[in-house]
A = this chain, B = another copy of it.
Amino acid sequence: MAQKRVAVPVYYGIATDLRDAIESGELSPGELIPSEAQLCETYGVSRMTVRQGLNLLSEAGYINSVPGRGSFVVHPSYERVLIEVQPTRLPDGSLPDCLMLEIGFHRADSSVAQALDIDEGADVQVIRRVLGANGDPICFDRIFVPPDWDLNEIEEEAAPVAQFVSRLAEHPFLHVKLTIRGREAEPEAAAHLKLPEPPFAIHVEQQILSAEADPVAWAVSVFDPEGYRLKGEFGPVRRRL
């Protein structure tokens, strides 16, 4: 009735009003927010409009709706964090530079064989590269992919590992399991990154899986801990379909 087009949608206003009430402490975690019927009356809108607003709140992790009971303010979860694994843009807006060391065939050692679920000694293709910012090397990584992939069509050499693999894969929608470790870098990595002694570095290991959960690629990225920091913000769990 009183909705202004061009301005913010009504449902968005409902969501932000409730968000503000939650963040200000007017509504505390565990409490019920007003029912959908009440909100319809308060705002003078239909139920679908109210539900659209509540959907935003729910997506953003503020409320949890329970059939037959109502919508509760959620205790915020701070267990999971969204981080950037690798900058596609440097702080000044430029792209990281990439030095391609090798694109070729190797035989899988035991760790690669295990990660890719193949036999030890089987053929794999390896991409080795050094990524840097303004001439300073900050990341050395090796990406292992199946021997039958065509690596001539690489477009973005400096792309993050999973993005890189995703572009090469036949079906680009992949799933990634990632581990971040701190440990001593092997001599090759230490040399490329010019690490001081002892050459300690952050290691990001990525196992990349197809939609059918078969491993399709494996990568280890070694970061110079002085030149690069993983930064993140808190976010909710991905809504998996």
* Interface residues, chain A, with chain B CB atoms under 8 Å away: 15-16, 19, 22-25, 28-29, 48, 55-57, 59-62, 75-86, 88, 160-163, 166, 170-184, 198, 200-202, 211, 223, 225-226, 229-241
Contact = CB atoms under 8 A, between A and B. Distances in A.
Contacts of A76: 166, 172-174
Contacts of A182: 182, 200-202, 223, 225
Contacts of A183: 200, 225-226
Contact of A176 (B57, B162, B226, B233): B233
A176 B56 CA distance: 21
A148 to B, nearest CB: 17
Contacts of A238: 60-61, 82, 233-236
Nearest to A224: B182
A171 to B, nearest CB: 5
Given A62-B173, A80-B84, A81-B85, 4 more contacts: A78-B85, A78-B174, A82-B82, A182-B225
Given A223-B182, A241-B56, A84 B79 contact: yes
Q: Which 6 A-B pairs have the closest CB atoms?
A: A235-B238, A78-B162, A182-B225, A180-B230, A200-B200, A182-B202
18 contacts: A19-B241, A56-B239, A62-B241, A76-B174, A78-B85, A78-B160, A78-B166, A79-B88, A81-B85, A82-B235, A176-B233, A177-B233, A179-B229, A180-B230, A180-B232, A198-B200, A200-B200, A235-B237
A137 to B, nearest CB: 16
Given A235-B235, A241-B56, A25 B162 contact: no
Contact of A173 (B22, B82, B229, B240): B22
A153 B226 CA distance: 38
